[in-house]
Structure 1
Amino acid sequence: MTQSSSIPVFEAAVAAWAGGSGPVAPPAELVAAVLVEGASDRAAVLAAARVLDRDLAAEGVAVLPMGGAMSVRRYVALLGASRPGLRLRGLCDAGEVRFFERAGLGADAIAVCRPDLEGELIHALGERRVEELLDDEGDLRLFRMFQQQPAQRGRATAQQLHRFLGTTSGRKEQYGRVLTAALTADALPAPLRAAASSR
């Protein structure tokens, strides 16, 4: 099995383990794992790697969504036990750093999004470019309707965009990928660059 195929198989096995299956055996070529909170973070890290012209799976790097930062200790325990010396990195929102620290990851191993991934991407792209990408994806009309909701009137556009990206199931993952892919390598937010450079 090649490096590019065995890492995704391992990622799927870890997802099954998280759902209650048996122990997971990492492939021999696994050299590092990036622990992320959810699917949107994973999509963004993989998109950032493509922007940087890197193939993380081929380099032996797995990107593992955990279903929330509070699961990080469980993942660190699993991976540490299965492969002593495996390099572990984390990507998280500013409010979740404590969970990664308590799991034993050092500050140099944690890439922190401030305040979170969506905030980093909106800041990096600018509001106008994000709206253009919403238009490209067929969501701009929905966003304009969202802006007219009483709870959104009077809020800054960046705040409205941030809230809109999290209102529908799957949207955060979709735009984690789309917004990241629209950036140049130089414009990638530092936390994403760090996570996508893990090895």
Structure 2
Amino acid sequence: MERRPVVLVEGESDAVVVRRLLAARTGADVVEVVPMAGVTNLARHLDALGGPAPDVLVLVDAPESRFATGALRRHGVRAESPEELGWYGVFVCDRDLEEVLIRGLGVGAVLAEVRAMGEIGAFESLAQMPQWRDRHPREQLHRFAGSGSGRKRRLAARLADLLDPEHPPAPLDAVVGRALAAAGSPRG
């Protein structure tokens, strides 16, 4: 039996975004999305899957791309730049997925979701802290998304629903498109 394509992601918030985009594009569960509990587990996941393959895709944050480089080297693949990593199915977020979502949707849309979640007061408190008050709202939102128990996942889910599934920001578009192509989906 042929396996479904697999997308390896760093954590649960990344998984919820990729799953929602895949579901919105296909309406079916044709790709397995696996949160790795941190990018340091990438080599172990690739080993279990038999190494890099056209049906094994990876989404990582730029600061952690060195772990992807190392994991690929264990399988005889030399790739350094984001472009080279992409040749082997590893897609790199410029900073991280939260930054990609905030930049892609815009500060206003993200703030509207924070308000809808009932967390605008908490955001405004963070934004007034001395170390954050002079920073751009994009930076404040990035920090806010990563603070608070479960907030990163909850906010990611809401923001994923705002994305245009046919034209999400890079690298989401690349990883979803390649995964669907590997699944033989007509929308891949």
Distance 1:184 1:89 in 2: 21
The 5 A counterparts of 1:34-49 are 34-49=7-22
**Aligned pairs, how many?**
167
2:34 match? 64
Aligned twin of 2:82: none
Aligned residues of 2:20 and 2:160 also touching (Cα < 8 A): yes
Contact 1:48–1:180 (CA under 8 A) maintained in structure 2: yes
Q: 107, 128, 133: which is aligned to 2:86?
A: 107
1:124 equivalent in alignment to 2:104: yes
- Whether the 8 Å contact between 2:60 and 2:96 is mirrored in structure 1 is yes
Task: Give the structure-2-normalised TM-score.
Answer: 0.81
Q: Structure 1 residue 186: deviation in Å?
A: 4.8
Match of 1:88 among 52, 56, 61: 56
Q: Secondary structure at the match of 2:133?
A: coil
Deviates more, 1:168-177 or 1:33-42: 168-177
Structure 2: segments with no counterpart, 5+ residues: 78-84, 183-188
Take 1:86 and 1:156, find their aligned partners in 2: how far apart are those partners? 39
Question: Percentage identity across aligned positions?
Answer: 35
176-185 or 162-171: bigger deviation: 176-185
CA distance in 1, matches of 2:27, 2:175: 12
Q: Note if contact 2:167-2:173 (Cα within 8 Å) is conserved in structure 1.
A: no
CA distance in 2, matches of 1:137, 1:100: 34
1-structure distance, mates of 2:2, 2:27: 16
The secondary structure found in structure 1 opposite 2:67 is helix
Consecutive unaligned residues of structure 1, counting only runs of 5 or more, are: 1-27
1:7-55 deviations in Å (ceiling 9; x for gaps): xxxxxxxxxxxxxxxxxxxxx3523111111111101101222332443
Q: What amino acid sits opposite 2:50 in the alignment?
A: G
Letter in 2 for 1:183: L
The two structures, once aligned, show a CA RMSD in angstroms of 2.0
After TM superposition, the structure 1 = structure 2 runs for residues 25-40 of structure 1, keeping only pairs within 5 Å, are 28-40=1-13
- Normalising by structure 1, we get a TM-score of 0.77
In 2: Cα distance, 1:142 partner to 1:85 partner:
44
